[in-house]
Amino acid sequence: MRLSARIEQSAPIPLAADLDCESGELLALVGPSGSGKSTILRCLAGLHRPAGGHVRCGEETWFDATRGIDLPPQRRRVGFVFQHYALFPHLTALANVMLALTDLPADQRAARARDWLARANLEGFDHRRPGELSGGQQQRVALARALAREPRVLLLDEPFSAVDRVTRRKLLNQLIDLRRSLAIPIILVTHDLEEASLLADQMTVLHRGRTLQTATPEEMLARPASALVARLTDQTNLFVGKVTHQSRASDTTVIDWLGHSLVATHHADFAPGETVCWVIPEAGVVLVREHQSERENTLSAKVNERLAWRGHATVTASVGKQGEASLTFAIGASVAGRRCIVPGAIVLLQLQKSAIRLLPADPAIGAPAALDRVDSWYPRPLPGEQAAPRPLAAPQPGRSSE
């Protein structure tokens, strides 16, 4: 069974989104607040009617604007876990789940509901009302209620946002286990990229109601479709540079960045002289030793900040004569300690050629004044924007396109 949808509307929130999710697959919808993630989920469930498009699940058409089909939520058979769970506060946990089993004969409902609560590790909580349950327990009742109906699609609207970090980790593990046993499409709305990366087979990035890119989390990180996607997926190493040299034969594209010539794999779409955005995942920035300074794409940087957490250290180091840009990379906390990676230290960093991804220059990214309007999700200014007003080094003679 496959869920496919095209959602279109111009008001109240503009939407132009395409979604596809196969059985057993988890698709994460990520994007900043107000990008329409939850509205899309409501459209799928039949709780909001878009102006145009379609929603199809397997052979069934739930919504088709051109054919005038719009099944009510009761007939779509979706399991929906709301952001704040939306448990019925006057009913016990058992009664909450039983209400989703009205298709069953009355004498079978209690046993089936108990079974679902047991699967959610909630034995002994049958007769507690939602107000007597912890956030994590409420979330599990909501999940049991959503699954009790044996839905064709499971929709999760930021299900972990209302619980503390420790509970969230436990619930995430439970959901990872659970999804292995569910042969239905699962759509997860989240603004937490770590959550999306842990759970999702596919990720769709939304911005202002539009789907910008759908890919696996790894692909999204390594090959964002645009600078905006890179920014929305919290890629910290996103900069502006200028193409200086192209060579299909040697599989290289050379860019000038803050006076450094960086070699990337060949990106045929950009001409020499063209301004581009470029991005490199944190894993593509490697700490090297002094005797390795002649390696390709190696530059020195001054450590600004080291944040250590659970054996990992995230280091930010400034590059350029005036420290115009900051590169972020991750190393083991013990390595950071052994090699004295502390604020003020000078380090050598190699930017791996294969990890550098060139992207079309984005007017919104290139214009600093417009930046905050474009995205309030990650309002941090781009390092490349600081460098942008400064004239980039002119292409060197003899380094032209082949």
Partner 1 sequence: MDWQALALSLHLASATALLLLPLALWLARLLAWSSMRGRSVLEALILLPLVLPPTVLGYYLLLGFGSSSLLGQIYHVLSGRSLVFSFDGLLAASLIFNLPFAVQPMQRAFAAIPCEIREAAWVSGLSRWQTFLRIELPLAWPGVAAALALCFAHTLGEFGVVLMVGGSLPGETKTIAIAIYDQAQAFNDSAAANMSAFLLGLSFVAVVLVSRLGRGRTGR
Residues at the site binding partner 1, with contacts judged by CB under 8 A: 42, 45-47, 72-74, 76-80, 82-84, 86-90, 99-100, 102-103, 131, 145, 149
Q: Count Cβ atoms within 10 A of the Cβ of residue 200 and give its class: 0-12 exposed, 13-18 middle, 19 or more buried.
A: buried
If the CB atoms of residues 58 and 272 are measured against partner 1, the closer one turns out to be 58
Where are the alpha helices (H) located in 19-105, listed in sequence order? Answer: 37-45, 73-76, 93-98
Contact 252, 387 (CB under 8 A): no
Is the Cβ of residue 81 or residue 349 nearer to partner 1 in the bound state?
81
Nearer to partner 1, 110 or 330 (CB): 110
- Pinpoint the alpha helices (H) of 181-252: 193-199, 217-222, 227-232
The answer for residues whose C-beta is within 8 angstroms of residue 394's C-beta and 6 or more apart is none
Question: Please, are residues 242 and 273 in contact by the beta-carbon 8 Å criterion?
Answer: yes
Q: What angle do CA 103, 108, 110 make, to 5 degrees?
A: 100
In sequence order, what are the beta bridge partners of 305? 316
Assign 39 to helix, strand or coil: helix
Which DSSP category does 315 fall into? Answer: E
Output phi, psi for 167, to 5 deg. Answer: -60, -40
Helices and strands of the chain, counted as H and E runs: 13, 21
Of the pair 46, 224, the CB lying nearest partner 1 is at 46
Nearer to partner 1 (CB atom), residue 100 or residue 203? 100
Closest CB to partner 1 among 185 and 384?
185
Measured from the CB atom, is 78 or 303 closer to partner 1?
A: 78
C-beta separation of 184 from 24 below 8 A: yes
Query: How far apart are CB 134 and partner 1 at their closest, in Å?
Result: 18
We find the least distance from the C-beta atom of residue 74 to partner 1, in angstroms, to be 5
Closest C-alpha among 190, 243, 241, 240 to residue 217: 190
Minimum gap (Å) between residue 90 Cβ and partner 1: 5
State the minimum distance, in angstroms, from the CB of residue 63 to partner 1. 15
